[in-house]
Amino acid sequence: MKFKKIKSYAKINLLLRVTGRLKSGYHNVESLVSFLDLHDEIKIKKTLNNKHKINFFGKFSKGIKKNNTISKLLKILEEKKLLNNQKYLINVKKNIPQKAGLGGGSMNASAIIRFFLINKILNSSKKNILDLAKQIGHDVQLGLDYKNKILHSSGDLKTSLKKLGFFVIVIKPKFGCSTKKIYQGVKSYSKKKIIKNKKDYFNLTNITKSQNDLEKVVFKYYPKLNKVKSFMEDLPNIRLVRMTGSGSAILGYFLTKNAAINAAKLFKNKYKNYWCITSKTI
């Protein structure tokens, strides 16, 4: 049987506000979420083996544990007897860096859920699929489709059909950020600003006036990243610089492809040891 190919796109947070903390220890967050054409490449096929097998390779595959988002997904599906005892061989080429705030692992699980749904391997209600996604990780639900998302502080998730059309440079230092550690460093909370049924949160003015609350925590631990952001804010034709998720990736947003390409060249000349690519929103 031939492999089927899946693309698993990187998630970005255009804004992120931490508005409170739950008794469970998790935080209330509101965010605007979009996706880049930067993607991991997944190949999947049925196997006659008596166990699932997951292989990771590529530039950012080092250190991925056996207990990962894909293995968690398959385990839950097995426990719910939703795979009819069928086993799968899954190969993942990791093009999205880990611990970057780009949701690489979560989006891998999302992509495989979509594959199972499209191929009618899973036949579940939308509510059951959302419950399944949340069992694996909080971000998994975001990648069940690639529409822009509005995440309310209440946990409600709404989609937006607006296309952003941003070209970006994505930079990441050699170190990553622990999501748990960064959230533990949050000492104050923002007011809720995303109101239900407001028409357009995905306009440039609104996004520019917003922020990622986790930046001040990350920059406290890693002051070099604050200097990197300041350098990026002076790049020609840049419209916005913002960290995504809990870091450590920072994105610069542009309105044209050439502007992003030229900015990437300037960045690489200054920061030769940083990973830096150009991409665009999808």
- Residues labelled as active-site residues: 11, 139
Tell me: cis bond preceding 248? Omega within 30 of 0 counts: yes
What's phi and psi for 248, nearest 5 deg? -100, 10
* DSSP helix/strand/coil, 235: coil
Element (H, E) at 72: helix 69-79
What's phi and psi for 243, nearest 5 deg? -75, 150
CA pair distance 141, 123, nearest whole angstrom:
17
> Do the Cβ atoms of 45 and 4 come closer than 8 Å?
yes
CA pair distance 254, 280, nearest whole angstrom:
9
